[in-house]
Amino acid sequence: MQIKHLVTIAAVTCALMVGACACSGRSSGGASATTTPAAHTSQAVSLPAFSADSAYAAVAAQVAMGPRNPGSDAIKRCGEWIISELGRYGADTVIVQRTTEPDPMNPSRKVPLVNIIGCFNPDAAKRLIVAAHYDTRPVADEDADESKRDKPIPGANDGGSGVGVMLELARLMGLQTPGVGVDLLFVDLEDSGTSGDDASWCRGSQYFASHLPYKSAAERPQAAVVLDMVGAPGARFHREYFSQQANPALVDRVWASARAAGCASRFPDQLGGPILDDHLPLINAGIPAIDIVESRSDATGTFPETWHTHADDMSSVDRSTLGAVGRTMVHFIYNYR
């Protein structure tokens, strides 16, 4: 198996029950049932304007650092840059979780694992998590050129896009505090798993889930939204199966936010495939979580064509897609009650 695995439907219930906490690869496809969403989002509050250009620039800044694979100088610099940006945008608190883990692709060596949490409006009665991974795949195992498959990918979409959206959200929250508290969670070591070992994926979110930075159950966030591969040109985001099964009301709420933001065409009311991603460790830790991820590409039927290839460069990221996801999240966050 490989990262962000589209597993069979039979495996979904089992994975949720036994606490599967890994990101893996793809299978033959996902379900396509239509659901009926509930109406949630209103526009009773003034909403800040999400800048797709700002999000795109944040993606470009990451790609310019080079591949951010575990143990590299680039991922260290990227983590330091994220911390600096959160401070620049006015995060009330920045929490850094540091440990070391065996490298999933080379267990004989250990690599740093650094999760970063930027906390906004910490005194709010309700809290949300918005999460994305900032590491990139150490190998291009899906590249058509076999000679390049052992080299790390640029990770513009798979890694960079979610971070870009989140840093623009940080900028907006620094300018206009939402009514709810928001923890922006940047997780490490998501994308280094090995085939057949589900637990080798999503190590950063697994670590976060077992070391939650909340003093009591009352302080835990009410909901979490994971952003993964949210930048590809023309991308559409179907209702990820694990998310829909575990937290259908939260999926309804986010998809209603997309409609309110004028982005309904990007968020079709259909099921995507079941994907092992960073939302599962959160679900298993008792935090309702869902995944916004492109899993039914028109071109491939699963993930974007550039997935785990060297073509996952800035040409694989589109401002309009970043903007659609960003505006949806603005509606979700600022209207959350």
Residue 152: pLDDT over 60: yes
Residue 2: pLDDT over 90: no
Alpha-carbon distance of 110 to 100, in angstroms, equals: 6
Euclidean distance between the first and final Cα of the chain, in Å?
39
Maximum CA extent, the chain: 55
Of 43 and 228, the one with more pLDDT: 228
Q: Cα separations (Å) of 200 from 11, 102, 291?
A: 18, 10, 19
Residue 23: pLDDT over 70: no
What mean pLDDT comes out for the span 121-130? 97
CB atoms within 10 A of CB 64: 10
pLDDT-derived band at 44 (thresholds 50, 70, 90) equals low
Alpha-carbon distance of 317 to 320, in angstroms, equals: 9
94-108: b (≥16 Cβ within 10 Å) or e: beebeeebebbbeee
Q: Which domains does the chain have, with CATH numbers?
A: 22-334 (3.40.630.10)
pLDDT-derived band at 6 (thresholds 50, 70, 90) equals low
Share of the chain above pLDDT 70, in %: 87
The string of pLDDT tens digits covering residues 68-102 is 999 999 999 999 999 999 999 999 999 999 999 99
The string of pLDDT tens digits covering residues 189-239 is 999 998 888 899 999 999 999 999 999 988 999 999 999 999 999 999 999
The pLDDT mean for the chain works out to: 90
Residue 28: pLDDT over 50: no
Say if CB 224 and CB 290 are below 8 A apart.
Answer: yes
Alpha-carbon distance of 66 to 168, in angstroms, equals: 21
- Environment class of residue 175 by beta-carbon count within 10 Å: exposed (0-12), middle (13-18) or buried (19+)? exposed
Share of the chain above pLDDT 90, in %: 82
pLDDT-derived band at 9 (thresholds 50, 70, 90) equals very low
